[in-house]
Amino acid sequence: MGSCIVLSCIVVTLILFILDDMKGEFAMPYLPQKVYEILRWVIIIVIPALITLYGVIGNVCNIPYTDIVLTIAGAVDVCLGTIFGISKLNYDRENKQ
């Protein structure tokens, strides 16, 4: 199950990367800087902290399916981080010229 989620994230990331490289009507719009910084903070700090909190509480309290929830949440966070990282690289590359 976890491998399906990771594979889906890779496919979505590749599609976004390809669309971002295309010019014209398929060009991806850029987020305002403040929105980008907030989303980046959520992806880098908040989501991993919540995943860790849920993992500790889930294991201590014997909540069923804790490992599955942690796997899915971790995969989603990695996918979002990858998409944001690729977008940042493309933005920096375009504004460097």
Domain boundaries, the chain: 2-96
Whether pTM > 0.75 for this model: the answer is no
Give the pLDDT band (50/70/90) at residue 24.
very low
Please tell me the predicted confidence (pLDDT) of residue 68.
Answer: 93
Please check the confidence at residue 49 and state whether its pLDDT lies above 50. yes
Would you tell me how many other CB atoms lie within 10 Å of the CB of residue 45? 10
Query: For residues 92 and 86, what is the distance between their CA atoms, to the nearest angstrom?
Result: 10
Residue 94 or residue 59, greater confidence: 59
Task: Mention every residue, 6+ apart, whose C-beta is less than 8 A from residue 61.
Answer: none
Please tell me the predicted confidence (pLDDT) of residue 5.
Answer: 61
Give the pLDDT band (50/70/90) at residue 28.
low
Give the pLDDT band (50/70/90) at residue 7.
low
User: Which DSSP state fits 43?
Assistant: I
Query: For residues 16 and 86, what is the distance between their CA atoms, to the nearest angstrom?
Result: 9
Mean pLDDT, the chain, rounded, equals: 79
Please tell me the predicted confidence (pLDDT) of residue 61.
Answer: 97
47-60 and 66-96 helices, crossing angle to 10°: 170
